[in-house]
Structure 1
Amino acid sequence: MTADVPHRTTTSRATGRPGDASPFALGLLLRRAHWHAAAVMTEALRPLGIELRHFAVLIVLMDRGPTVQRDLAVATGSDKAGIMRVVDDLERKGLAVRKAVPGDRRARAVEITPEGVELFDVAHASAEPLSERLVAELGPGEPERLADLLTRITRHTDGEA
Structure 2
Amino acid sequence: MTADAPHPATTASRPSTTTASRATDRPGDTSPFALGLLLRQAHWRAAAVMSEALRPLGIELRHFAVLIVLVDRGPTVQRDLAAATGTDKAGIMRVVDDLERKGLAVRKSVPGDRRVRAVEITPQGIDLFDAAHAGAAPMAEGLVADLAPGEPEQLTDLLTRFAYPTDGKA
Same fold (TM over 0.5): yes
Report the CA distance between 1:6 and its aligned residue.
8.8
Paired positions, count: 159
Is 1:124 matched with 2:133? yes
Report the CA distance between 1:153 and its aligned residue.
1.0
1:69-104 Cα distance to aligned partner (Å, 9 max, x none): 000000000000000000000000000000000111
Report the CA distance between 1:123 and its aligned residue.
0.3
Instruction: Show structure 2 runs of 5+ residues with no match.
Output: 1-8
Q: Distance in 1 between matches of 2:73 and 2:169?
A: 15
Report the CA distance between 1:39 and its aligned residue.
0.5
Structure 1 residues 23, 74: closer, same or farther in 2, change over 3 A?
A: same
Report the CA distance between 1:160 and its aligned residue.
9.6
The letter of the residue matching 1:78 is T
The list of structure 1 runs, each at least 4 consecutive aligned residues, that deviate by more than 3 angstroms after superposition, is 5-9
Report the CA distance between 1:10 and its aligned residue.
2.2
Other-structure match for 2:60:
51
Q: Give the alignment partner of residue 113 of structure 2, picking from 104, 107, 110.
A: 104
SS in 2 for 1:138: coil
The letter of the residue matching 1:50 is I
1:3-45 Cα distance to aligned partner (Å, 9 max, x none): xx79455242212211100001000110000000000001100
Is 1:41 matched with 2:41? no
Bigger shift: residues 66-75 or 6-15: 6-15
Is 1:133 matched with 2:142? yes
The letter of the residue matching 1:53 is R
Q: Give the alignment partner of residue 143 of structure 1, picking from 125, 149, 152.
A: 152
Q: Distance in 1 between matches of 2:139 and 2:169?
A: 29
Report the CA distance between 1:105 and its aligned residue.
1.1
Q: Distance in 2 between matches of 1:12 and 1:134?
A: 30
TM-score w.r.t. the length of structure 2 is: 0.87
Larger radius of gyration: 2
Q: Distance in 1 between matches of 2:41 and 2:151?
A: 18
Is 1:15 matched with 2:24? yes
TM-score w.r.t. the length of structure 1 is: 0.92
The letter of the residue matching 1:24 is F
Q: Distance in 2 between matches of 1:51 and 1:26?
A: 27
Q: Distance in 1 between matches of 2:87 and 2:19?
A: 36
